[in-house]
Amino acid sequence: MKKNKVLSLFLALTMVVICAFSGVCEAVAVQGGSNIAQNQGASSVKLSNGKVGSTSKAKGIKSGNYMYYSIENKIYKVNVKTKKSTVIYKGKANEQFYGLTVKDGWIYCTKEKLRNDSDIFTYVFKVKTDGKSAKVLKKGWQPTVYKGNIYYIKQRFDDKTSEKYVYVETLGIYKMSLSGKNDKAIKKASIVEEFIVYKSKIYYTTFGSSTGDFCLYSIPITGGKAKIMIRSDEHFITNLMAYSDYIYFNWDNDQESYNLYKIKTNSTKKIRVASKIDLNCISNGYIYYTTKKGRKDDLYKIKISNNKKTKIKINEEITDELYVEGGYMILEIDYNKPGSKYNAALYLCDTNGKNGKVINTFYAY
């Protein structure tokens, strides 16, 4: 997973989340890499569950023949059969959208607003899938739709002042109704690195700036006392995903050589799954991951039931994130078409790497 891109392009893929969640997890996962919301500006790519300052993963469920994604200030839908993309919403030039979740005809996502080339503000945003009724709900980011509520990272900042370098304060994990009402704190915290919602619990990671500890916690979606599952003073805990009562995650002190672990949702004992792989997605009983081969990423999948590994051959150079759902996957590739002003593209194909086609192009720094 690349960490070295400049904060200028935001690319977000999501698949429609339906009422009965299945497979990977029951809601969108939120990833914050090393800063969650405070340090904004470390990376450029935001893929479905992205956050400010970090590359992240897409989560969701494909509905019908469409997937939804965003590039910069535009939200698209793509027909997985025809592979034709259509713009459904366009924001202002200084806005970006990522972390899309689609449910009951609405898109919920993070809207990021750049002001004066110095301040970045994030908002929980929703818009209908026909592009109408756009609305900001709250200050914060990464809306996770689960059982009729939105769980998100709440922020506090003054977006009315004319001063530069406005302080952005993270307040913790909150929930609200789908209309933005009944806002309530689930876990107050100044640093939350990443969270997912699974079977009526929230699993989240923190980093103690004073202690240097990385921790994985669980807490009921109703709030209450958080339970610590893992504590480490030297290893990152990232890429949280839930599947079949296990939380999967990458765990290492080197972001380029993550090891894959899992932990039972009611346990404190982690289990090593594989070495030096970058977890990208879990879908329909398979773990999808990449390994580095020079600048290029090689793509594999492991069947969870028997640990059988298969290399997925793509006739393109994979450069970044992979997203899988409903028999399809979208990934980022190099784009070197002569005469083009773009150097990267989104590529849609089936989970065997077949029947692929470029669905959009962009410039990646």
Q: By percentage, how much of the chain surpasses pLDDT 70? A: 79
Residue 116, pLDDT above cutoff 80: yes
The pLDDT tens digits of the residues spanning 198-245 come to 999 999 999 876 667 899 999 999 999 999 999 988 788 889 999 999
- Taken as a whole, the chain contains a residue count of 365
Does residue 151 surpass a pLDDT of 60?
yes
Compute the mean pLDDT over every residue in the chain, rounded to the nearest whole number.
Answer: 81
Give the model confidence (pLDDT) of 329-362 as tens digits.
988 899 988 889 999 999 999 999 999 999 999 9
pLDDT of 177 over the 70 cut: yes
Contact 170, 38 (CB under 8 A): yes
Residues with Cβ within 8 Å of residue 236, at least 6 apart in sequence: 34, 214, 250, 251, 252, 253, 255, 258
365/363 Cα distance (integer angstroms): 7
255 pLDDT band (50/70/90 cuts)?
low
Q: What pLDDT band is residue 275 in, cutting at 50, 70 and 90?
A: confident
Give the β-pairing of 149-156 and 135-146.
antiparallel
Nearest of 45, 71, 32, 144 to residue 359 by alpha carbon: 71
Cα 206 from chain centroid (whole Å): 17
Question: What is the rounded average pLDDT of the residues 145-167?
Answer: 93
| Contact (CB, 8 A) for 153 and 172 | yes
pLDDT at 56 over 90: no
Task: Please give the pLDDT value at position 302.
Answer: 94
Say if residues 191 and 205 touch (Cβ distance below 8 Å).
no
Question: ∠272-277-278 over CA atoms, to 5°?
Answer: 115
SS (H, E, C) 115-148: ECCCEEEEEEEEEECCCCCCEEEEEEEEEEEECC
Answer with the residue of higher pLDDT: 207 or 248. Answer: 248
Measured CA to CA, the distance from residue 28 to residue 150 in angstroms comes to 10
CATH 3.40.50.2300 at 11-278, yes or no:
no
Give the pLDDT band of residue 114 (cuts 50, 70, 90). very high
Q: What's the confidence (pLDDT) of residue 278?
A: 85
**Token pair belonging to 278:** 């970058």
Which range among 107-121, 177-191, 225-239, 313-327 has the greatest average pLDDT?
177-191
Cβ neighbours, 10 Å, residue 182: 9
